[in-house]
Structure 1
């Protein structure tokens, strides 16, 4: 059955998961999980990587920054390219690039080769993530089946970030940091072997010209924005590089908006950005990822600098959070079925606020670990309910030929959210530590972390309020025809 036939049948009211659905779901979820793991798997291993390839301590952050720049900067462009030239094709190219980049990273003997490998992995993430999301949304009918698929996708992606931190420590301790790269290679090979057999290709009957000015301005704008956020986290918000990056990003994104309102075939049609479900859904998604990933960063500081945990022990402490995210992804479709996707976002952020706020009271002894484990588990459940609600909202009410664009926007929100949360919270901690005399002690770090967690909880609350006030339930998507390749 072609993708068009599947879509038509889906909108005709299909509610049963077939064997083909299961294979498609397993394939796409495996790819998404691998990419999520890839984002965090090297964090624990950074000191070993520095020793292995000759990175100085002051330049180690570029191992993560290079990945983040490419993953966030190119995701919207690749999402639209998938719409125009084939989502399956882009998915396969991205997985091949992931396998090649991971192999190159594992074999790297110099900083330059390692950074090139991380750039390849970031570009692969920018290509595969929106392609996989759009393939998933066009393979399942809008409604309960799609909600369940998106729930599993969100759960495994969120769990992947936690798993990456744990797996990176285990592989580095038991084997070698190079296995944090090599582990992706067999997954990429397996996906490339199966995907052509089960994924249908689709493309529009009339292919419009690619919006080159829009592609250039949005890609450079996102690159500048992510670079500015990263520089702010590494140095300060008044650092020249941070200010220049953020200002340049704002100017380029404003230019992108002007371009899109004037070209005949825009990369992102302005009417889509004016849809409340798309605009506010992505705002909610961006803040959902920003708050939870930055909370993990804050709790890592607490565990290592206040309680004295090793990096591996700190990573293992987040296994409970990973379990919460998996549970949240499993129950999110039921919550959406009961209360709707808008209310799922609002309730998810309300519960996340309630789970995060007590963490601001963490004390200097290991006796507070019980509170940390319980709160992070409940917060993980709530965060995934909000994330799945965001994904359902941001990809619903749109025709199939725009699902790649919707996936690109959702992926962009995810990547920018992950990138921006940590610099903001890090700045709060640093400001508090410097305000207490500038000495980095367990006491001053604890005070800074507590203040930042309180701000994190307020941000969760504010996001829930904004979603309640401005978000609308999207209309049902029209059924559109496409030409099967």
Structure 2
């Protein structure tokens, strides 16, 4: 029995195996999200063996994020153009091959090139996978449950990266954080053709190359500017130059799309208010999430002196709460509606982040961190599931890949910008406290406190967007 049919009938495809197919798709998405964070713990060991300085190590992360974030929209449209399953399999194969090459790297150049190919492959994989999900579950109730699984995977992948990175690096070496993708990716490549039949093109036959070039350049410049903030500071000319380039190319893209007969991103898609709200909220929540997991890991290791494994284990309650929330949220959406559920989730997320901001420099995990971690997990799980559902609500088959590309791009761009800006704020606060004679641990804690309050502000702003925008 098939899971997907021709473009004209795929919206009605049904099969008992679609839940198994969802599990395999979620496994691939887990790898994509995991790979953005699992490498962090391995960087010191990796740098020592490959003789990479701090700037070069930053590019191990940046090369992946740049390619992933800037090519996502193009990847989604290619999936609509050439078939979602085909592009998903190509992206997965590229991701597996690049992971193997990264683990075999004998120098910085080979590793950075492999990371860039990983990111580009993920930009094909991620939007195509979400598009396949929307076709597998056309009925609203089942789709909400499927998106619950999807949202849980997205949140768990980020949290699990710290734990798995520490375990693998300590036991098997830094290469294992890349090699772990190979057998898992192989399972995905074997299983998907058996579970999902080939789907045909649903987008226009011509690819909008000027639009693709301008938006890819704009996103590349935007993510590059965010990465430059971390390295050079907010006032550096490189940051402002890349920011200006991103704005100019973004304006060029809008002008091109208005005139294109077959646009890469039909601007009319933003008339779907749920899609627009979903992407704006995902931008803000993605910014809060990436900054949170980065700061929480550094706080636990630099201030509380946890080792890598303890740091990962300490984030398990947050991940567990996220999973539970993701399972419950679909029924809440059915009763209260997506926007009220989203607003409530964001309030809980903001509350947990404010609570965490008051953790002291000598915090006890049970007394000071467990409560806010659980609250953050519940809020984040609800926010991810509901936001993703809004972002694909009412999208037709021919734009499913585009919708997947948009929401993934919003998450990645938001994460890059949020981490860069909030990390800069935390650094300034820490330096100011240090200059005033405050002890190092207290100064670091003060900086992280401002960062956590900043993430709470992003969650509150996202809630205001969710409640304030009119329904589609």
Q: Does TM, normalized by the shorter one, top 0.5?
A: yes
After TM superposition, list the pairs within 5 Å mapping 1:216-235 onto structure 2.
216-235=213-232
Match of 1:109 in 2: 106
Cα distance, 1:117–1:399 mapped onto 2, change above 3 Å? same
Match of 1:24 in 2: 21
- Map Cα deviations across residues 153-189 of structure 1 (whole Å, 9 max, x no partner): 1101210111111101101101111011111111111
Match of 1:348 in 2: 345
Q: What SS does structure 2 have at the residue aligned with 1:108?
A: coil
- How many Å separate the matches in 2 of 1:218 and 1:119? 18
- Map Cα deviations across residues 353-406 of structure 1 (whole Å, 9 max, x no partner): 111111121112132553312211221111121111111111011211110000
Contact between 2:357 and 2:449, CA under 8 Å: does it hold in 1?
yes
Match of 1:91 in 2: 88
Match of 1:253 in 2: 250
- Map Cα deviations across residues 393-449 of structure 1 (whole Å, 9 max, x no partner): 110112111100000001101111221221121111112123234478111111111
Match of 1:123 in 2: 120
Match of 1:462 in 2: 461
- How many Å separate the matches in 1 of 2:278 and 2:455? 19
- How many Å separate the matches in 2 of 1:211 and 1:21? 33
Cα distance, 1:267–1:9 mapped onto 2, change above 3 Å? closer
Deviation at 1:271, TM superposition (A): 0.6
- How many Å separate the matches in 1 of 2:374 and 2:452? 16
- Map Cα deviations across residues 207-244 of structure 1 (whole Å, 9 max, x no partner): 43100000000001000000100111222111122111
Segment of structure 1 superposing worse, 317-326 or 108-117: 317-326
Contact between 1:306 and 1:442, CA under 8 Å: does it hold in 2?
yes
Task: Give the TM-score normalised by the residue count of structure 2.
Answer: 0.95
Match of 2:265 in 1: 268
Segment of structure 1 superposing worse, 274-283 or 73-82: 274-283
Cα distance, 1:306–1:471 mapped onto 2, change above 3 Å? farther
Contact between 1:7 and 1:140, CA under 8 Å: does it hold in 2?
no
- How many Å separate the matches in 1 of 2:186 and 2:395? 33
Deviation at 1:2, TM superposition (A): 6.3
Cα distance, 1:54–1:375 mapped onto 2, change above 3 Å? same
Contact between 1:280 and 1:471, CA under 8 Å: does it hold in 2?
no
Contact between 2:163 and 2:308, CA under 8 Å: does it hold in 1?
no
Contact between 1:301 and 1:449, CA under 8 Å: does it hold in 2?
no
Q: What SS does structure 2 have at the residue aligned with 1:364?
A: coil
- How many Å separate the matches in 2 of 1:381 and 1:368? 18
Match of 1:325 in 2: 322
- Map Cα deviations across residues 118-172 of structure 1 (whole Å, 9 max, x no partner): 1111111111000000001111114111111111011012101111111011011
Contact between 2:26 and 2:153, CA under 8 Å: does it hold in 1?
yes
- How many Å separate the matches in 2 of 1:205 and 1:227? 32
- How many Å separate the matches in 2 of 1:64 and 1:300? 16
Matched, 1:237 2:234: yes
Cα distance, 1:2–1:151 mapped onto 2, change above 3 Å? closer
Deviation at 1:19, TM superposition (A): 2.7
Match of 2:151 in 1: 154
For structure 1, the residue ranges without an aligned partner over 5 or more in a row are: 475-485
- Map Cα deviations across residues 102-124 of structure 1 (whole Å, 9 max, x no partner): 11011100000001111111111
Q: What SS does structure 1 have at the residue aligned with 2:36?
A: helix
Cα distance, 1:7–1:34 mapped onto 2, change above 3 Å? farther
Deviation at 1:455, TM superposition (A): 2.2
Over the aligned positions, Cα root-mean-square deviation in angstroms equals 1.9
Matched, 1:399 2:396: yes
Deviation at 1:297, TM superposition (A): 1.9
Match of 1:452 in 2: 451
Contact between 1:142 and 1:396, CA under 8 Å: does it hold in 2?
no
Contact between 2:152 and 2:381, CA under 8 Å: does it hold in 1?
yes
Deviation at 1:11, TM superposition (A): 5.4
Task: Give the TM-score normalised by the residue count of structure 1.
Answer: 0.93
- Map Cα deviations across residues 321-360 of structure 1 (whole Å, 9 max, x no partner): 1112211211121121111111121111111111111112
Contact between 1:364 and 1:446, CA under 8 Å: does it hold in 2?
yes
Deviation at 1:202, TM superposition (A): 2.2
